[in-house]
Structure 1
Amino acid sequence: MTPKLRDLTARGRVLLATTANQALLGPVSGGIPREYVRSIAERIYQPRIARHVSESVTRTEATVERYDFPADFPPQFRRSKAFDERHAHRLHDVLVSPHSGLVWLPGGPVLEESYGSLIRSLGWGDIRHEPLLPVRRLTGRPVVAFAPTGYYHWLLEVLPAAVFALSVEPEALLLMPENVPAYVLAAAEHLVGPARILRLDDIAHVDTCLLAAVEPMSGFVQRAEIDRLRTAFPTDPTDAKAIYVSRLKDHKRALSNEAEVECAMREAGVTVVYAQDLSFERQRALFAGARTVIAPHGAGLANLVWAQRAERVIEVFPPAWFNDCYARLSRNLGIDYDYVVASPTEEGRCVAPLDRLDALLNEGATAGC
């Protein structure tokens, strides 16, 4: 087979797969990634996009933020991030998913800013099924998506987007599924009150919605967003010298020696907490008042956005896994950050190094004398 024939064969297979996708999934889902809008601002010149947009406002300015990690930290701790200017848009005659916050035009395309990125929507956060769900036509007041996308992404992506959207349209309804975690409902009631919460499992075809663009690089949180959250949720700190955010109740992700770590923490005078057992208000107050936070890598550390008195964070990474999102969040808030790496076990679990944790705690105690 000649190179040209090989190329034509490969292109033909892709075309066949695309055609089959569209036949099976419909014009919206089947058209991803060919039919999607990465940036409304970039495509506003197109009439089919422009007729759905009545207003665009700047949500955050373009900026570069830097994270001053110690020189001996390895290079995977990223020292800077360039953020593009992001916007919020008042849209008309669009479809909105209460499950993920995804927004798309009737018949497509998908507006990726509503969910973050194409990579996310096709990969770990796959939502291609959502345009196939039943649709309910809603008329009346504007809506803002308030999707329960898991604590980390909800707190650091969905919540600040909703707060900004409500600043543009203060009388909007918050759209969410029928069943949501208690923290989602508590935050919604704080923001708009029970009467303006719209709970729906069907896709909503709405007259108007406010779309505040989500950062496409999940894990990077601008300082402006942190300040926006703190302003929207003022918190009275609960005084706590040091807390350990245990994952003992998370059987799939707990350290294999989690119980031993808890004992060591208590002996060191550290308060052991289970974030999943705490109300949204209690989590805010606890993290707002803690001086030292120790935790395995996990969503509980997203609560660092509420930290007002924190001086130090110690994170336990599992082996062969690294994500510096909480390291950057700590440094963004001016909190000293350190970490340890757990050791793997034959069963595929991991063991936190108690001696290293103890040394770091003693080091912090000595520094505070």
Structure 2
Amino acid sequence: MNYDLKLELRYQSLSILKYLKAPFLKFSPTKEVSIDEYLKKNKSASIQNFEENESYILTLLNGRVWSSNGTVITEDNILISEINRTLLKEKRNSVFYQKSVINPQIKTGVAAIVAQPAGNVYYHWMIDILPRIELLKKADEFDSIDYFVFNEIKYPFQKETLKIFGIPENKIIEVKNLWNYHFQFDKLIFPSFTSELNRATYFTIKTLEKYIYPKQKTSQGKQFYKKIYLSRSKAPNRKLLNEQEVLCLLKAEGFYEIFPEEYSVIEQAEIFANAEVIVGVHGSAFTNIAFCKPATKVIDICAPEWVNDCFLEITKLRGLVYIRITGNQFLGIKGIDKGANISLHDSKIKFLMEQV
């Protein structure tokens, strides 16, 4: 059974179970069009372009936002391709797998839509969400925005950065799942994505530098380590199973083990900005290499089934040295471990130690 068919069956079954007695708005998007095509035929929509990064802000009257994916639906039931992002496995927006969605809550006022798929993952929050807030700040009507629609705000790093970016708590609307979040606004403002999926831009880096580092220092006089190891031992997946063996060798070379989730965003920025060599298993903590100084060495240990160039792209922008080591797959009783846990065998440990 292919991925799209499984996804459709999952969405339909969950939707039926969850909303058997709920009021429905029968909805099936009539079509999906490009932003240029939509603007030609719908004079009520408008766009404000910015030269930097070819970004823009799109304004729609009576637009709707549905689900934790931040899916934007126009008043005439059309999806605009460029403003509705899907993850790599999905060929179509998840709304197309729904036969119906719950009636929208009508909100009077102006809403800025910043939610997107996986928007509360640290990497996507820092690389995708925060630069879009900066775009909103460039808009003439930022102060008149009544609501900001985000993915669920459940982590300290989200609350910390929203405060830094000046987003009032009383203006935040959260969309937490794919079924019972659906809103309609008098005016809907959509700040464009400032980069392709998993590909940061200079605008991204400049935004993070402007708001988080180096202006927001909190640890004057604190000791920082030149060589750091990013541990995922507290994470639910993508763990290095023989971490203690590897860590023992790294500590002998002057490495310090850190758990990034135990630090604030500003503290993480300072730690990475002062490091010269960074080693770890591929994960969102590597997002902080956006704060590293040029020539910092980044060693990204990846699972064979979880290779992604997102951090390689940041190293190109920052002038860092990127080294990828592909770990050995962990084979459980039922085959390949679904958590993408790995180990490093002797030859790969040797290669790692030659790099540090």
Structure 2: distance between partners of 1:254 and 1:122: 29
Match of 1:89 among 40, 55, 58: 58
Answer yes or no: is 1:279 the counterpart of 2:264: yes
Q: How far 1:315 sits from its partner (Å)?
A: 0.9
Q: What are the superposed Cα offsets for residues 171-213 of structure 1, whole Å, 9 maximum, x if unpaired? A: 1342235652221122112112435532344322112232122
User: Does the residue aligned with 1:205 lie in a helix, a strand or coil?
Assistant: strand
Paired AA for residue 188 in structure 2 = C
Q: For residue 154 of structure 1, what is the aligned residue in structure 2?
A: 125
Deviations 1:265-306 (A, max 9, x none): 323221211222322222222222222111111221122122
- Pairs within 5 Å for 1:1-369: 28=27, 30-31=28-29, 35-37=31-33, 39-47=34-42, 50-51=43-44, 53-58=45-50, 60-61=52-53, 85-97=54-66, 99-117=68-86, 122=91, 126=94, 132-146=101-115, 148-168=119-139, 169-171=141-143, 172=145, 173-176=147-150, 179-201=153-175, 202-214=181-193, 217-235=196-214, 236=217, 239-308=224-293, 311-347=296-332, 348=336, 349-353=341-345, 356-357=348-349, 359-364=351-356
The alignment of Structure 1 onto Structure 2 pairs a total of residues equal to 314
Q: C-alpha offsets along residues 160-179 of structure 1, whole Å, 9 cap, x if unaligned?
A: 12221232143134223565
Letter paired with 1:240: Y
Q: How big is the alpha-carbon RMSD for the aligned residues of Structure 1 and Structure 2?
A: 3.4
Deviates more, 1:276-285 or 1:151-160: 276-285
User: Sequence identity of aligned pairs in percent?
Assistant: 19
Q: Which runs of 5+ in 2 are unaligned?
A: 1-7, 17-23, 176-180
Q: CA deviation at 1:105?
A: 1.1
Give yes or no for contact 1:261–1:354 (8 Å, CA) kept in 2.
Answer: no
Partners of 1:286 and 1:127 lie apart in 2 by 41
* TM-score of the pair, normalised by structure 2: 0.75
CA contact (8 A) 2:111 2:149 kept: no
The one-letter code of the counterpart of 1:269 is: G
Deviation (angstroms), 1:215: 5.9
When normalised by structure 1's length, the TM-score is 0.73
- Residues 1:290 and 1:320: Cα distance change in structure 2 (over 3 Å): same
Change in 2 beyond 3 A, CA 1:351/1:203: same
Deviation string for 1:98-139 (max 9, x for gaps)?
Answer: 72322111352123333325866556x845578724522212
Residue pair 1:88, 1:210 contacting (<8 A) in 2 also: yes
Kindly provide the amino acid, as one letter, of the partner of residue 55 in structure 1. I
Query: Do the aligned residues in 2 keep the contact of 1:244 with 1:293 (CA within 8 Å)?
Result: yes
Unmatched 5+ residue regions in structure 1?
1-16, 62-84, 365-369
- In 2, distance between residues paired with 1:54 and 1:233? 32
Residues in 2 aligned to 1:284 and 1:361: alpha-carbon distance in whole angstroms: 25
Distance 2:196 2:35 in 1: 17
The AA in structure 2 aligned to 1:102 is: T
1:229–1:363 Cα change, 3 Å: closer
